[in-house]
């Protein structure tokens, strides 16, 4: 089978979407959208079915690249931190997005001064700590301290 031709045919027939859409209407799915068909993405990939482990890994890999790119662009000094603190910042970027992370002014200032204990205390006193619960916030705070 000519796989390249099949891919070209499917891309033409299904279209290529980088956002989740309703396959019955072709409309993007926004919060509170009424979906008539199946949520889909890419080239007709239905999202109401389990994702293959290889796809989950590929998405995670790209999300990590995106998080690192965001941190490099927004707080370039982060790369001078110990690896554990870098992992904590990536996890915080995952959890609350870049704008949420950048709102932690005192924590980031402490980290920029390599005052990791102070940064961890700021994180522990935050609303984020309440939202995610003690298991996660304590683990991330310890990453900052390590």
Query: What are 8-65's pLDDT values in tens digits?
Result: 999 999 999 999 999 999 999 999 999 999 999 999 999 999 999 999 999 999 999 9
Integer CA distances (angstroms), 126 to 8, 14, 34, 50, in order: 50, 45, 35, 35
CATH number at 112 reads: 1.10.530.40
The reply to whether 60 falls in a domain is: no
Q: Are residues 82 and 25 in the same domain?
A: no
Q: Is residue 93 located within the same domain as residue 131?
A: yes
The tens digit of pLDDT for each residue in 82-95 reads 999 999 999 999 99
Alpha helices in the chain (DSSP H): 3-14, 53-74, 83-102, 105-112, 116-124, 127-132, 134-145
Q: What is the DSSP letter of 22?
A: E
| Residue 57 lies inside a defined structural domain of this protein | no
Looking at every residue in the chain, the average pLDDT score rounds to 95
- Three-state secondary-structure class, residue 132: helix
The reply to whether 116 falls in a domain is yes
Range of the domain at 133: 75-145
**pLDDT bucket at 108, cuts 50 / 70 / 90:** very high
Statement to judge: residues 34 and 95 lie in one domain? no
Residue pointed to by tokens 């109401």: 48
Total domains in the fold of the chain: 2
Residues 80 and 121 in one domain: yes
- Based on the domain organization, do 37 and 99 belong to the same domain? no
Same domain, 90 and 30: no
Query: Does residue 26 sit within a domain?
Result: yes
Give me the percent of the chain exceeding a pLDDT of 70.
100
On whether both 82 and 141 belong to a single domain, the answer is yes
Res 118: pLDDT? 97
Whether 39 and 79 map to the same domain: the answer is: no
């Amino acid at each position: 089978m000519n796989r390249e031709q099949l891919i070209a045919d499917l891309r033409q027939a299904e279209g290529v979407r980088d956002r989740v859409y309703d396959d019955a209407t072709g409309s993007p799915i926004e919060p509170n959208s009424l979906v008539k068909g199946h949520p889909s993405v890419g080239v007709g990939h239905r999202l109401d079915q389990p994702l293959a482990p290889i796809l989950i890994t590929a998405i995670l890999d790209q999300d990590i690249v995106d998080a690192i790119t965001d941190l490099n662009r927004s707080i370039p000094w982060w790369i001078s931190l110990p690896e554990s603190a870098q992992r904590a910042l990536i996890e915080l970027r995952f959890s609350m997005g870049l704008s949420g992370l950048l709102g932690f002014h005192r924590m980031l200032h402490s980290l920029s001064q390599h005052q990791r204990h102070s940064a961890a205390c700021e994180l522990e006193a935050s609303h984020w700590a309440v939202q995610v619960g003690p298991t996660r916030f304590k683990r991330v705070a310890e990453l900052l301290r390590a």
